[in-house]
């Protein structure tokens, strides 16, 4: 954090002239009296006309410079900092778990003195915040990168997949990946393909509230993720997040069938079209679905992704140019989120036909979320089939995007790529839709 983090324009100049820095107690004289409080950082997109103080009462006030006569630094504050406790020592003989940190809310915390949220804590700090972990496993925390998950790209997935695969070779009993929740479902799907057949569990875990808030879901999610990574009898890629609004159960979702379906609730994630893989409660695993792959076995990771795939959501009045645009940007494959059973307008269907004729691959998923694509019911669907668009059954559109990038990353193209997309690799398509 800079000395005057987030301030710009006139406000920055005003504070510089007054010799003030973040954390100082500052007194502002206005036409209607003086206000004093701790100078708080501004958020990234704040304007250049306001100064924000945290009052003694704990409230933040923003004062427009137009009403401020001058500023005086009453006392210099310490620069906000967070000193994590050294991670607790784990007992020997416990299973070994690799914790890979990637950023996101689970690795963020609020600085209560200034009120700012900072994505600053490392996986090691997180471990220090949840000391119970040391009673569950010998954990080895590592920061792979620090990004909010909206900034994740296939290159990040590849790096994570390589590190997790190496973790299996190094003898870890499980891998836990801390991750922002926004694109957790995409990364889980990507890793499900790159690590298909992995001999150990790989658990992605996020949180909706940062780890130092009383209502945080981070500690329980993390305890559940590490316990399952360390001790579960099954392998594979899963997402661990709160099961419901109470803070006592964590759901494990299959990596290819999970979505973030709520912006803010702690139980924001849902398994779509399949039962949960497992449920963790106060006394450990309370439920484990049948048929999960056992631990062990030979495994060859395939951690390559070709990002030249676009995911297009069809909408009424979508111009055919949207397909041409994606193609001009270099897309080799398109995943279309069609309406209902998998439909698009005549115009877009015609353009998809041309895209396929020119050598592109077009796949159809549904924006309905539940149910499956069926292109044989209506004329529109039949026309799409005729044009070479490949229906993807009940595969989630986000999963289809990650899979198409992975399929092309394996070097497959044409007929082979279509066959790979249609065949089930990691539970991404089911023969029968689970009612729920
Ligand atoms: N935007 C954040 C992210 O996905 C939100 C979160 O971590 O939950 O990284």
Is pLDDT at 73 greater than 60 in this prediction?
yes
Other Cβ atoms within 10 Å of 39 Cβ, number: 25
Closest ligand 1 atom, CA of 108? 7
105 compared with 382, residue with greater pLDDT = 382
What phi, psi does 78 have (nearest 5°)?
-80, 145
State which H helix or E strand residue 225 sits in.
helix 218-231
Is pLDDT at 44 greater than 80 in this prediction?
no
The span from the CA of 423 to the CA of 197, in Å, is 15
The arithmetic mean of pLDDT across residues 259-267, rounded, is 95
Most distant pair of Cα atoms in the chain: their distance: 76
SS3 114: coil
Is pLDDT at 1 greater than 50 in this prediction?
no
> CA-CA-CA-CA torsion for 184, 189, 192, 193, nearest 10 degrees?
-140
Closest CA to 68 of 39, 40, 37, 27: 27
Domains and CATH numbers, the chain: 9-75 (2.30.30.520), 96-288 (3.40.50.1170), 309-422 (3.40.50.40)
Distance 179 CA to ligand 1 centre (A): 7
Least confident among 18-32, 125-139, 236-250, 280-294: 125-139
Is pLDDT at 323 greater than 90 in this prediction?
yes
298 as an active site residue: the answer is: no
Closest ligand 1 atom, CA of 151? 9
Percentage of residues in the chain with pLDDT exceeding 70? 89
Closest CA to 66 of 53, 92, 91, 48: 48
Atom 8 of ligand 1, nearest CA residue: 181
User: pLDDT tens digits for 231-240?
Assistant: 999 999 999 9
For ligand 1, mutation pick of 43, 104, 109 (most atoms within 8 Å of CB): 104
Beta-sheet strands, E only, within 325-397? 333-338, 361-366, 390-391
181 as an active site residue: the answer is: yes
30 as an active site residue: the answer is: no
User: pLDDT tens digits for 105-158?
Assistant: 887 765 545 555 554 455 566 667 788 888 999 999 898 988 889 999 999 999
The arithmetic mean of pLDDT across residues 366-392, rounded, is 94
CB 189 within 8 A of CB 169: no
Closest CA to 130 of 264, 252, 227, 208: 227
In this prediction, residue 228 has a pLDDT band, given cuts at 50, 70 and 90, of very high
**pLDDT for residue 116:** 55
357 compared with 110, residue with greater pLDDT = 357
The span from the CA of 195 to the CA of 191, in Å, is 6
**pLDDT for residue 215:** 85
> What is the pTM for the complete model shown?
0.82
178 as an active site residue: the answer is: no
Q: Count of alpha carbons within 13 Å of 264, Cβ hemisphere only?
A: 1
The arithmetic mean of pLDDT across residues 174-195, rounded, is 97
**pLDDT for residue 115:** 55
Tokens encoding 132? 């119970």
Distance 207 CA to ligand 1 centre (A): 8
In this prediction, residue 262 has a pLDDT band, given cuts at 50, 70 and 90, of very high
Tokens encoding 362? 């077009």
Beta-sheet strands, E only, within 282-422? 284-288, 309-313, 333-338, 361-366, 390-391
Catalytic residue among 105, 183, 187, 227: 105
The span from the CA of 324 to the CA of 330, in Å, is 10
Residues with CB under 6 A from ligand 1: 104-105, 148-150, 180-182, 206, 208
State which H helix or E strand residue 10 sits in.
helix 9-18
Is pLDDT at 82 greater than 60 in this prediction?
no
């Amino acid at each position: 954090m800079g000395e005057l983090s987030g301030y710009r324009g006139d406000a920055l100049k005003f504070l510089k002239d007054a010799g003030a820095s973040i954390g100082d107690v500052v007194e502002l004289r206005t036409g209607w009296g003086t206000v004093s409080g701790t100078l708080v950082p501004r958020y990234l997109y704040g304007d250049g006309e306001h100064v924000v103080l945290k009052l003694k009462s704990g409230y933040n006030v923003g004062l427009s410079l137009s009403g401020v006569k001058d500023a005086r630094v009453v006392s210099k504050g310490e620069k906000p900092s967070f000193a994590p406790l050294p991670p607790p020592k784990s007992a020997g003989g416990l299973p070994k778990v690799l914790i890979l940190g990637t950023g996101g809310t689970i690795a963020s915390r609020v600085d209560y003195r200034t009120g700012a949220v900072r994505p600053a804590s490392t996986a090691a700090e997180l471990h220090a915040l949840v000391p119970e972990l040391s009673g569950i496993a010998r954990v080895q925390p590592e920061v792979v990168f620090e990004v909010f998950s909206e900034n994740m790209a296939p290159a990040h997935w590849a790096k994570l997949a390589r590190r997790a695969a190496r973790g299996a070779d190094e003898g870890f009993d499980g891998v836990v990946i801390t991750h922002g929740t926004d694109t957790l479902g995409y990364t889980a799907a990507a890793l499900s393909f790159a690590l298909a057949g992995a001999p150990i569990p790989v658990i992605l875990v996020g949180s909706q509230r940062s780890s130092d808030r009383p209502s945080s879901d981070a500690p329980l999610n993390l305890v559940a993720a590490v316990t399952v990574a360390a001790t579960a009898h099954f392998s594979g890629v899963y997402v661990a997040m709160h099961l419901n609004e109470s803070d006592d159960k964590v759901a494990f979702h299959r990596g290819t069938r999970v979505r973030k379906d709520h912006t803010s609730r702690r139980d924001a994630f849902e398994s779509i079209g399949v039962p949960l893989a497992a449920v963790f409660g106060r006394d450990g695993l309370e439920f484990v679905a049948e048929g999960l792959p056992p631990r062990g076995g030979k495994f060859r990771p395939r951690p390559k992704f070709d990002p030249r795939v676009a995911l297009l959501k069809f909408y009424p009045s979508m111009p055919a140019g949207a397909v041409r645009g994606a193609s001009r940007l270099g897309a080799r494959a398109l995943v279309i989120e069609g309406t209902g059973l998998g439909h698009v307008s005549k115009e877009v269907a015609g353009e998809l036909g041309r895209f396929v004729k020119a050598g592109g691959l077009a796949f159809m998923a549904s924006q309905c979320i539940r149910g499956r694509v069926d292109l044989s019911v209506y004329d529109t669907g039949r026309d799409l089939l005729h044009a070479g668009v490949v229906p993807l059954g009940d595969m989630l559109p986000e999963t289809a995007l990650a899979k198409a990038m992975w399929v092309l990353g394996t070097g497959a193209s044409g007929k082979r790529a279509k066959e790979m997309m249609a065949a089930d690799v990691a539970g991404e398509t089911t023969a029968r839709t689970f009612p729920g």
